[in-house]
């Protein structure tokens, strides 16, 4: 019988030679059409849809329809996306999916699930048949194509190995300046440096809606530990999106997004108070006015909306007036003197005024030991009241206070000694040697990020090798590296920042269940 071409849209592709197959003109006993490859002679009775399902584990046609529907929704003005991923051959965390669906309904958001392929070699041997499948409850959310939204790209067509230790490696420059989201079970975020007058690019991973299911190997064990039941909330509308991490908690049975809690039962609880707000390095002398309004002053500011129990502050004192970085620059010293910027007491009193103005009555300030705070102690070690007439009274006063503190068995930290008697709100000063937690299952806040292991130079990646989850600052470029969340800065561009920069105005918050998210401030706004 001569094979005939057909207009059948379900005509499959030959799996042997990738040649379009033809309708053979006959049917199986069950009534299915037979297809034959005119090039190599391979026969099949599987339609295109059935073929796709057998190869990919889900209906490719349905995923394509989901993508078409999503693109239409975006064109019609959809302003929120919730993005997560799902691993094959793995059950869904039902409670998390139900909570995500509740959030999508509440926020009028589109829920997107990126399929991730992974073969657990501990479950399948060479002689055992291996077929991919995805939980059927995800069918209407699966998208395996690239989705372009305003300011951000969802890489639905990119599958990263689920066990990848550094899932964002190599994605920093992909796609130019456009932000990108990559599906992966580990939550991660990296900034990408741009010229100083441009917003740094961001690349994100999503977390997963599926359970942990990894091989009994070293790579599998590490992947299991860092596997996060998480997603991203993406708010569109401006030049740049707002992106927040959604972390599902099995114990509390849901997840927070800002002051709203979404339960696995579908219940939505509003106006929840957060455990703490950890601000980007504040550098009060150079604090950005728009950041201050969005963080503290506006009626809908972060502090007034989320009502943190603790305010964790890093590099609150900049030390510009007395920094050792200017010792070898007589011209800079003259400039500071001529403009009145060499008076240390003025800069310290700015910190006092700022703390009193921005601390809610029921909040506690937590001051993190930071490298700029150390500038004050370093200055007092070398300062001479006989030659520094502008600061002579402060020098004598503080040097005396430090010695009295030592005599009394107290901490001689200069910033502590100056602020405690002057600031009206409650203050806790942290020590790098003693961890500090806001919640029972939360992160440690005692590290600024300037000091690493055994006194080495600190970094988020280096500190991620610690046994503790941490929230740090210092480098001014916000990122997430496994259990370490790193804030950005609250200041504008500082004098030593030149050329390319990945610095962002970014805070982080910790919820009462110990879960965290980063919060960007963009053009004076912190959410859409």
Q: Say yes or no to pLDDT of 282 above 80.
A: yes
142-151 confidence digits (pLDDT tens): 999 999 999 9
* 63-108 pLDDT per residue, tens: 999 999 999 999 999 999 999 999 999 999 999 999 999 999 999 9
- Which DSSP helix (H) or strand (E) runs through 407? helix 392-407
Q: Where are the domains of the chain?
A: 1-56, 57-269, 276-520
Cβ within 8 Å of residue 461, ≥6 positions away? 481, 484
Q: Residue 513: which of 303, 310, 226, 276 has the closest Cα? A: 276
Helix (H) or strand (E) holding 438: none
What pLDDT is recorded for position 4? 44
**Contact, 294 vs 525, CB < 8 A?**
yes
Check pLDDT > 50 for residue 2.
Answer: no
Three-state DSSP at 526 gives coil
Give the whole-angstrom CA distance, residue 339 versus residue 438: 41
Nearest to 142 by CA among 202, 66, 240, 47: 66
Res 125: pLDDT: 61
Mean pLDDT of 470-498: 92
Count of alpha carbons within 13 Å of 306, Cβ hemisphere only? 30
365 closest CA partner among 487, 276, 280: 276
pLDDT score at 11? 74
Whether the pLDDT of residue 349 is over 80: the answer is yes
> What's the CA gap between 89 and 122, in Å, rounded?
13
Q: Which residues, in sequence order, are bridge partners of residue 82?
A: 111, 233
Task: State the pairing for strand pair 506-510/516-520.
Answer: antiparallel
- pLDDT, residue 126, reads 60
Residue recorded with tokens 């990408």: 192
* 209 close to 231: Cβ distance less than 8 angstroms: yes
First to last CA, the chain: 64
Q: Is the pLDDT of residue 123 over 90?
A: no
DSSP of 34-64, one letter per residue?
EEE-TTT--EE---HHHHHHHHHSS-HHHHH
φ, ψ of residue 420 in degrees (nearest 5): -55, -50
> 10 Å Cβ neighbour count for 181?
28
Q: Of all helices (H) and strands (E), which one includes residue 330?
A: helix 330-339
The fold for domain 57-269 equals Purple Acid Phosphatase; chain A, domain 2 (3.60.21)
For the stretch 426-483, pLDDT in tens is: 999 999 999 999 999 999 999 999 999 888 899 999 999 999 999 999 999 999 999 9
Query: Where do runs of H (alpha helix) occur along 340-390?
Result: 344-358, 371-382
Radius of gyration (C-alpha) of the chain in whole angstroms: 28
Beta bridge partners of residue 310, listed in sequence order = 276, 364
């Amino acid at each position: 019988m001569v094979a005939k071409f057909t207009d059948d849209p379900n005509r499959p592709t030959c799996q042997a030679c990738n040649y379009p197959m033809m309708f053979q003109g006959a049917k199986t006993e069950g009534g299915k059409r037979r297809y034959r490859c005119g090039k190599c002679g391979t026969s099949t009775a599987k339609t295109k849809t059935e073929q796709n399902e057998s190869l990919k584990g889900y209906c490719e046609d349905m995923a394509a329809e989901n993508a078409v529907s999503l693109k239409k929704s975006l064109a019609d003005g959809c302003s929120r996306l919730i993005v997560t991923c799902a691993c094959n051959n793995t059950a869904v965390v039902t409670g998390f999916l139900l909570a995500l669906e509740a959030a999508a309904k509440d926020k009028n958001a589109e829920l997107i699930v990126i399929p991730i392929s992974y073969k657990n070699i501990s479950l399948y041997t060479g002689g055992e048949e291996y077929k991919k499948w995805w939980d059927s409850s995800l069918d209407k959310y699966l998208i395996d194509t690239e989705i372009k939204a305003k300011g951000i790209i969802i890489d639905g067509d990119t599958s990263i190995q689920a066990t990848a230790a550094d899932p964002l490696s190599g994605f920093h420059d992909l796609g130019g300046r456009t932000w990108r989201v990559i599906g992966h079970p580990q939550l991660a975020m990296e900034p990408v440096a741009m010229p100083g007058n441009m917003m740094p690019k961001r690349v994100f991973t999503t977390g997963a809606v599926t359970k942990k299911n990894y091989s009994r190997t070293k790579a599998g064990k590490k992947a299991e530990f860092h596997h996060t039941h998480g997603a991203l909330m993406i708010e569109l509308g401006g030049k740049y999106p707002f992106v927040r991490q959604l972390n599902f908690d099995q114990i509390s049975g849901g997840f927070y997004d800002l002051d709203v809690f979404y339960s696995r039962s579908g219940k939505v609880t509003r106006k929840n108070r957060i455990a703490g707000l950890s601000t980007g390095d504040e550098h009060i002398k150079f604090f950005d006015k728009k950041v201050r309004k969005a963080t503290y002053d506006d009626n809908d500011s972060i502090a007034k909306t989320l009502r943190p129990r603790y305010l964790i502050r890093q590099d609150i004192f900049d030390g510009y007036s007395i920094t050792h970085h200017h010792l070898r620059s007589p011209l800079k010293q003259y400039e500071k003197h001529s403009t009145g910027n060499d008076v240390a007491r003025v800069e310290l009193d700015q910190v006092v005024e700022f703390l009193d103005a921005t601390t809610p009555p029921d909040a506690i300030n937590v001051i993190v030991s930071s490298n700029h705070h150390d500038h004050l102690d370093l200055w007092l070690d070398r300062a001479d009241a006989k030659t520094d007439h502008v600061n002579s009274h402060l020098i004598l006063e503080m040097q005396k206070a430090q010695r009295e503190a030592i005599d009394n068995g107290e901490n001689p930290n200069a910033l502590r000694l100056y602020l405690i008697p002057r600031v009206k709100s409650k203050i806790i000063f942290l020590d790098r040697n003693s961890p500090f937690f806001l919640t029972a299952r939360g992160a440690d806040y005692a590290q600024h990020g300037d000091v690493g292991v055994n006194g080495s130079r600190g970094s988020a990646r280096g500190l991620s090798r610690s046994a503790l989850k941490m929230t740090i600052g210092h480098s001014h470029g916000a990122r997430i590296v496994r259990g370490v969340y790193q804030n950005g800065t609250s200041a504008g561009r500082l004098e030593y920042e030149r050329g390319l920069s990945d610095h962002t105005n970014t805070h982080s918050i910790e919820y009462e269940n110990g879960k965290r998210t980063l919060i960007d401030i963009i053009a004076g706004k912190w959410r859409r």
